[in-house]
Structure 1
Amino acid sequence: MAGRAPRATLLVSSVDHGDESLSIPVAVGRRLEALAKDDSFAPSSRAELLYAVREIARLCAHSRMEDLVGRRDYSRAELTERLLRDGYRSEVVDELVERAVEVGIVDDCRYAAAFARSKVLAGWGRLKIERELSRRGISPSDVPGWPEDFVSAGDERERALSLASRRRLTGRNDYQKLVRFLCSRGFSVGISTSVAREVLDRAEG
């Protein structure tokens, strides 16, 4: 997981709580800084200020979510992780992502289908696609038509053969190198070993 985004610091001083340093998302800090220049924004108490901060954070989180999903599709877990990494509170993030799911902005099945098709075209094997879907919070078994509508045993082997055939052979541990390469691309051990043998047999023939 990537590290958290940079944070801003809000300094709050009150009689009951003394001086406090609150860590907030940078976007929230910028919004507060802009509001501070407006004489109409003058919270009369610590509670009023913290309420305003929460509401601003909610608006900033919503804006950030719209920006993210406007660029590409996200899975539910992936979007949640991204917003949390930006520093927004979990209850705000959960509420926003839940609403996005309800209205169809976020759809794990749609995301998974598009992801799987793109990775099949990129030469990934079934196992690697399944691992990456799981890492994004999606169980492959929950994807309609997976794997039959996306990959077949024959297609899987042909894609592995196409990839392996483009590898340069050096005459040193070629079989082991081909098997490791294909396994790293998500092809099963059975397919990887079979294809490696075929590539070497062709080269020797």
Structure 2
Amino acid sequence: MADAALLERLRASIAELEADATPHVRREDGDPLPEDGGRQSPRYASRGQDRAGAEASGAGQPKGAKDVAGALKRITSWVNASERSRSSLRERLVREGFAEGVTEDALERACSYGLVDDARYADVLIRSRIAQGKGSAGIERELWQNEIDPSTVDGWPHEYGIDGESELDRALQFLDRKPPRAKDRRGSAYRKLVQKGYPSSVASTAARMWAERNPS
């Protein structure tokens, strides 16, 4: 989740964008308003209608400014609920109808404020998946799905306590907590671990050891 200072900075940026997007209607030089402000003049009434139509259509506004503000509002709402990766936010904004250019502009702004940070997201993701008992292969797949290269994540995997021995222990603990019920206990244990994201070598060893300890 984003902290209060980051959210305040982003809200200020949104307000600036919305201010820039507000059209300023002015009369043309040499075309003074009548004393009644044009309220009774068909000529000025018609011109006012034309201008109102232009405002509604977005004419005269900085191109994309309003859409970027809207995209930033959506980003703020989502990251205030939970950490999000840049790629997942991009996908969601496009799905909601924001243009590619608007989406990238909004994401650049959000990243520059520190509201969106893939390194921070990766750290949160890894820690939460380890706590859920997920294996390293599954964690890395999920990082790739979010367009994050696991090799670029600081400290992965060793500083997160992930190595061959520790992962084998975690796999066995997982099977103890949620033992397979199928008749082929070893095969079932192996499939269960692979589905949980453990590397096949770890899953194979853990399934064999667990089946030997729990023959029936």
Say whether the fold is shared (TM-score over 0.5). Answer: yes
Q: 1:155 aligns with which of 157, 163, 166?
A: 166
Select 1:43's aligned residue among 43, 53, 57: 53
Paired residue for 2:153?
A: 143
Going from structure 1 to structure 2, the CA distance change for 1:133 and 1:47 (only over 3 Å counts) comes to same
Provide closer, same or farther for how the CA distance between residues 55 and 122 of structure 1 changes in structure 2, counting only shifts above 3 A.
Answer: same
Report SS of the residue matched to 1:204.
Answer: coil
- The yes-or-no answer on 1:126 pairing with 2:131 is no
Structure 2 residue ranges without an equivalent (≥5): 1-48
The corresponding residue for 1:28 is none
Q: RMSD of aligned C-alpha atoms?
A: 2.6
Q: May I ask how many residue pairs the two structures share in their alignment?
A: 167
Work out the CA distance in 2 between the residues paired with 1:99 and 1:171: 52
Deviations 1:33-63 (A, max 9, x none): xxxxxx9x71348975485894432322121
Identify which of structures 1 and 2 has the higher relative contact order when contacts are C-alpha pairs closer than 8 Å and 6+ apart: 2
The structure whose Rg is larger is 2
The answer (yes or no) to whether the contact 2:86–2:118 under 8 Å persists in 1 is yes
Provide the C-alpha distance between the structure 2 equivalents of 1:68 and 1:186, rounded to a whole number of angstroms. Answer: 27
SS at match of 2:197: coil
SS at match of 1:146: coil
CA, structure 1 residues 91+50, in 2 after alignment: closer, same or farther (shift >3 Å)? farther
The one of 49, 73, 81 equivalent to 2:83 is 73
Letter of the 1:204 counterpart:
P
Greater Cα offset, 170-179 or 47-56: 47-56
Shift of 1:196: 1.1
Give yes or no for the alignment of 1:116 onto 2:122.
no
Retained in 1: the 8 A contact 2:140–2:150? Answer: yes
Q: Is the 8 A contact 2:94 2:103 kept in 1?
A: yes
Letter aligned with residue 126 of structure 1 = S
Flag the 1:62–1:183 CA change in 2: closer, same or farther, 3 A.
same
Conserved 8 A contact 2:193-2:203: yes
- Checking the alignment, whether the CA contact within 8 Å between 2:180 and 2:188 is kept in structure 1 is no
Look up the SS of the partner of 2:134 in the other structure: coil
Q: CA deviation at 1:114?
A: 1.0
Residue by residue, what CA displacement relative to the aligned partner does 1:111-133 show, whole Å, maximum 9, x if unpaired? Answer: 10111011001000000000001
Structure 1 residues 45, 189: closer, same or farther in 2, change over 3 A? closer
| Alpha-carbon distance between aligned partners in 1 of 2:115 and 2:54, rounded to the nearest angstrom | 38
Name the CA distance, whole Å, in 2 between partners of 1:170 and 1:117: 29
- Which consecutive unaligned segments of at least 5 residues does structure 1 have? 1-38
1:192 lines up with 2:203 in the alignment: yes
